[in-house]
Amino acid sequence: MRKSIPSTLLNMMPLPIVLVEYKANTLNHPIVFLNNSFSKLIGWTLEDIPDKEHWWQKIYPDVQYQKVVERQWELEVETALSRDDGFVLLKVNLMTKHNGQKRFKVYTELTDMLIQGYYIVALEPSEK
């Protein structure tokens, strides 16, 4: 992890946090950091999910559900951008590494990067 990324701060967060490097020339952005809460609640490591492509395969192993989430995601992004909203929220079922499928609210920043060149995905456990 690069020195400019505040890993100590992200590890203090009680929610699972994913830090993704934005690369303009690809849609398969590398995942560069998973905080301690992510490791405890979801279980996947950077070796398991080094990029968005692996994320989709591990977190949404059912191909049909992947398509549903992808369509919902695209709609939410389009809606957020049309409202000048810099964040997207989506409730989804994620496959954890050791505890099966769990429901989460997934928050992603779209336009304002807290850390230049990276975007943050935060996950909040959800009942429904």
Considering the entire predicted model, what is its pTM?
0.87
Question: How far, in Å, CA of 36 to CA of 11, rounded?
Answer: 5
Which band of pLDDT confidence, cut at 50, 70 and 90, is reported for residue 61? very high
Lowest mean pLDDT among 15-24, 75-84, 112-121: 112-121
The per-residue pLDDT for range 38-59, each reduced to its tens digit, is 999 999 999 999 999 999 999 9
Task: Please give the distance of CA 120 from its chain centroid, rounded to a whole number.
Answer: 7
> Which of the listed CATH numbers 3.40.720.10, 3.40.50.1100, 3.40.190.10, 3.30.450.20 matches domain 7-125?
3.30.450.20
Nearest partner of 27 among 62, 73, 81, 61, judged by Cα: 73
Q: Which residues have C-beta within 8 Å of that of residue 32, sequence separation ≥ 6? A: 1, 2, 5, 19, 20, 21, 46, 118
Domain boundaries, the chain: 7-125
Does residue 72 surpass a pLDDT of 50?
A: yes
Question: How far, in Å, CA of 65 to CA of 80, rounded?
Answer: 22
Tokens of 123: 């996950």
